[in-house]
Amino acid sequence: MAKIIGGLTTSHIPAVGNAMASKLEQDPYWKRFFDGYEPVKQWLDEVKPDLAIIVYNDHGLNFFLDKVPTFALGCADSYQNADEGWGIPASADVPGDAQFSWHLAESLIRQEFDMTTCQEMLVDHGFMVPMNLFWRQHEHWPLKAIPLAVNTVQHPLTSAARCYKLGKALRKAVESYPEDMKVVVIGTGGLSHQLQGERAGIIDVDFDLKCIDKIINDPQWMAELSNDYIMEKAGTEGIEVIMWMVMRGALADKVDVLHKHYHAPISNTGAGVLLLTDAQS
């Protein structure tokens, strides 16, 4: 049986791709941010997951504003990095697992999450920056990945509550796959940031830290927040944090925190990292 062995979260800031490509990890501006990923990379090296389900939002690359699915699942055997030229060099395509994707699609749709299924999908920084942060592999990726895109761009948007429920459905979908596979679920995006308009540049450290704590210990609190409230506190793009709730829903009610890190600002964003597993006791 496939099993979810952990949940990870990370911001997916494009400037991070640029910094990695320019080998700036030890640069004073970047060092603390990148150091925050080391324990997660070590854990991944030890547990060696077979597959990552990466919950991210497309930023107008694969879906432009004329056609935006609320939830879309990659159902391909590979995904091409088409990261808008922000910095990550054109890397090897990321291998997918179409058979597993179709199983997820069937199970999720049966559980009333009506996925758009994509047999071709270009992936942008929302997907590639997390891949590079956690695995830093350009030639041969050490695992397969499945993109699960959530619309956080074109309103009306889905909610934190719905994302949390999607995570629970995703867990059932994964656990009903007959093959033995170790799966990690990665929620990307956030934390607070706004990239345009009068409030461009806002970051709310207190709200970010509260979200991290509540996502870990009291996800129901987070699930009850309205999108308007999240955007008022965290900025219009801060709404990306709802994708962390897909990861959280895919784990048990109680979790162990293997790693937690926050650093602000990086580019325009409060950047957070989490590594959670189902509670062992």
For residue 139, count CB atoms less than 10 angstroms from its CB and return exposed for 0-12, middle for 13-18, buried for 19 or more.
Answer: exposed
Closest CB to ligand DHB among residues 107, 269: 269
Residue 125 designated active-site: yes
**How many CA atoms does the CB half-sphere of 136 hold within 13 Å?**
15
Number of other residues whose CB lies within 10 A of the CB of residue 126:
28
Closest CB to ligand DHB among residues 107, 152: 152
Closest CB to ligand DHB among residues 4, 149: 149
Q: Which of 234, 263, 268 is nearest to 37 (CA)?
A: 263
Q: Give least dist CB 12 to ligand DHB, A.
A: 5
Q: Give least dist CB 96 to ligand DHB, A.
A: 22
22-55 burial by CB neighbour count: b if 16+ within 10 A, else e? eebeeeeebeebbebbeebeebbeeeebbbbbbb
Residue 138 designated active-site: no
CA distance 22 to 201: 24
3 state SS of 62? coil
Q: Which of 125, 259, 261, 263 is catalytic?
A: 125
Closest CB to ligand DHB among residues 73, 203: 203
**Using CB under 6 A as the criterion, which residues of the chain lie in contact with ligand DHB when the complex forms?**
12-15, 59, 189, 193, 195, 237, 240, 267-269
3 state SS of 222? helix
Please check whether residue 107 is in contact with residue 75, taking contact to mean a CB–CB distance below 8 angstroms.
Answer: no
Q: Give least dist CB 265 to ligand DHB, A.
A: 8
Closest CB to ligand DHB among residues 49, 189: 189
Q: Which of 193, 259, 261, 263 is catalytic?
A: 193
Sequence-ordered alpha helix ranges (H) in 83-218:
98-110, 125-135, 160-175, 205-217
Q: Give least dist CB 254 to ligand DHB, A.
A: 29
Q: Give least dist CB 121 to ligand DHB, A.
A: 17
Active-site residues, by number, are: 125, 193
